Amino acid sequence: MKYRHLFPALFALLVNTSIAELYEFRNEAGQTIRAEILSATPEQVSIKLENGRTMLVNNSVFIQEDQEYILKWIDAHPTQLKLKVRFEEKPEDEEVDESGSVVTTSILTRYDIHLQNSEPFPITGCEVHYLIFKSKGGVYSSSANQGSFDELPEYLVQYGTSQMDDLPPNETTTIITNLIIVNEFEPKGGGKDAEEDLMGIWVRVINEKKQIVFEAKSSEPKLKNVTWYDPYAETKEEDEDQ
């Protein structure tokens, strides 16, 4: 077997210390090791041996029963992926509307979401869901072009999704959001100017089982009191009930 040389090396490392959730893994040759699962994908599993050392092993090393145990563990323990994230605001265009009593300057911008895989294994089959938040610009917001933003009691929010490319270890992928419209308002006859504030972006990475495996916000202070918003949640629930 391709990986049978791995087991003697593993056994040599084991010591009689106690760790939580130990499982006895076995290969086709009948060799066994006791270890704790730290994280897993359908292809690979990261395990912690009894001596505290961690190793990344292909699931195919183990017998079928143990491979099924790993899959059940994945269902019960959504792994929080180790990703490094960087948000970049990218202005693209500016439009001015002077047709009404208020001069509205609409700034078109977007976010680039840079995600780097810090796991020792490839990340596959994930989607990126994001929310972009902006404040309301006083009484003028209701009449201004909001793009695809939805109006909530305290702020405006745009929801978007994108499939994430398969991501090898240490590689980076970039998700480009939809265009965002941020407005500035200036009354022609005098009065108080107003503007919308781009509060930030909240990102979730969802795996094939629809589990949240990573999330991050661009600005914790500004997004401290916001809640996750999915405009399609009710439709999804209806589809599941049918």
- Which has more pLDDT, 73 or 233? 73
pLDDT given at position 148: 59
pLDDT single digits (tens) 6-54? 555 444 444 333 445 789 999 999 999 999 998 888 888 989 988 888 8
**How would residue 155 be classed by pLDDT, with cut points 50, 70 and 90?**
confident
**How would residue 214 be classed by pLDDT, with cut points 50, 70 and 90?**
very high
User: Dihedral sign, CA of 232, 234, 236, 238?
Assistant: negative
Averaged pLDDT for residues 172-190: 87
Least confident of 43-47, 49-53, 57-61, 136-140: 136-140
The Cα–Cα gap between 198 and 222 comes to: 9
pLDDT given at position 126: 94
Instruction: Tell me which residue has tokens 């090791």.
Output: 33
Decide if 196 contacts 134 (C-beta within 8 A).
Answer: yes
φ, ψ at 179 (rounded to 5°): -65, 145
Averaged pLDDT for residues 201-205: 95
Least confident of 56-65, 98-107, 163-172: 98-107
The Cα–Cα gap between 108 and 121 comes to: 37
List alpha helices for the chain, DSSP H: 6-13, 64-76, 233-241
The angle subtended at Cα 188 by Cα 138 and Cα 104, nearest 5°, is 55
Domains with residue ranges and CATH for the chain: 6-76 (2.30.30.700), 83-229 (2.60.40)
pLDDT given at position 234: 54
- For 153, the token pair is 């009691």
pLDDT given at position 68: 95
Per-residue pLDDT at 1 exceeds 50: no
